[in-house]
Amino acid sequence: MPVSNSWWFKFPIAIGLTAAIAASAYGFGIANKAPASKLQAADLLEQGFSLRAAGQLPEALAAFEQAIETKPNYAEAYTAKGALLAKQGKNSEAVAAFGQAIEADPQLAAPYLGWSQVLIQQGKFMEAKVVLSQARSTLKQQSDTQQTGVVNHLMSSF
């Protein structure tokens, strides 16, 4: 399948997949309605996912940022922030957030996947393959065959 037909179609799915991987890996669902000052970082992250799902993107971003303020090395919150910024087309900010997530937890595969998606959108396919191979390596170490298969599928798309 030509590159233009395969990766472009899968890119929006993959961006959503990054957020879904981050959310599902940590069991997040319905938002907590407590005041932000009383919420723990995980509650703020959960709230951000719920707000994002409801289409309230500025509020979701604020929740992710509050989670990061509460817990500065919260890789999952940086990943969620990166996925949201990528969805908004703020690629340089998204890459920075994914980089912070990787710095906080190099064994978390989702930020590698998100970063690769930004690179794919920018047409930087060779760079994306390098980042995807890092994601695949991380997933293999964790024996996550399902998500490894998703990464392999994305890598074979271009």
Q: List the pLDDT tens digit at each of the 158 positions of the chain.
A: 344 434 333 444 454 555 545 544 444 443 444 455 457 999 999 999 999 999 999 999 999 999 999 999 999 999 999 999 999 999 999 999 999 999 999 999 999 999 999 999 999 999 999 999 999 999 988 888 888 888 888 888 87
pLDDT at 72: 95
Question: Side chain identity at 56, as an amino acid letter?
Answer: Q
pLDDT at 90: 97
Tokens linked to 37: 């000052």
pLDDT at 39: 73
pLDDT at 18: 55
Burial of 25 (0-12, 13-18, 19+ CB in 10 A): middle
3-state secondary structure at position 24: helix
Beta carbons of 49 and 19 less than 8 angstroms apart: yes
pLDDT at 155: 83
